[in-house]
Amino acid sequence: MKLHELKNVPGAVHRKKRVGCGEGGGHGKTSGRGGKGQTARSGGSIRPGFEGGQMPLYRKLPHRGFNNYNHRVEIAVVNVAALAALDASVTEVNAVILAQHGLIRAGETTVKVLGDGEIGRALKVTASKFSESAKAKIEKAGGQAIVA
């Protein structure tokens, strides 16, 4: 099979609807938009939930319930490769040092270290969480992975 031999499945390709091209075409006069008014106009649309000025259902019903977004815990993620890229003077790594070097936002305290990349020197890393591979790579390089 070659690219020029490929064919569409029957029914997959449709003819483009030509509107406003006369009554004989079946889509003349109002071009499938019905009569006059807001919906017949260009750009005229009614937002979802609008009930013509009547008090909409979503405003009649009480809003209650649990919203997980309000209780989320945001975790800053740092890879082992980013730790290896820190300058040689750094021997201990924590959230404050990561923020100073621009790897996480200032004020973020929950940090997870992931194992993407390689590390070749011993670092004492303090973080909230470690992936198994990250912990193994840090300890293999002679460092420590401390869960705080």
pLDDT of residue 53: 95
> Cβ distance 138 to 144 under 8 Å?
yes
pLDDT of residue 124: 97
CATH of the domain at 81: 3.100.10.10
* Residue 110 belongs to some domain of the structure: yes
Query: For the chain, how many structural domains are there in total?
Result: 1
Using alpha carbons, select from 43, 41, 59, 40 the residue that is nearest to residue 51.
Answer: 59
Q: Which domain holds residue 95?
A: 74-147
At 2, which helix (H) or strand (E)? none
pTM of the model: 0.57
pLDDT of residue 136: 97
pLDDT of residue 63: 87
* Residue 96 belongs to some domain of the structure: yes
Q: What is the pLDDT along the chain (148 residues), one digit of tens a residue?
A: 899 999 999 999 999 999 999 999 899 999 999 999 999 999 989 999 999 999 999 999 998 889 899 999 999 999 999 999 999 999 999 999 999 999 999 999 999 999 999 999 999 999 999 999 999 999 999 999 999 8
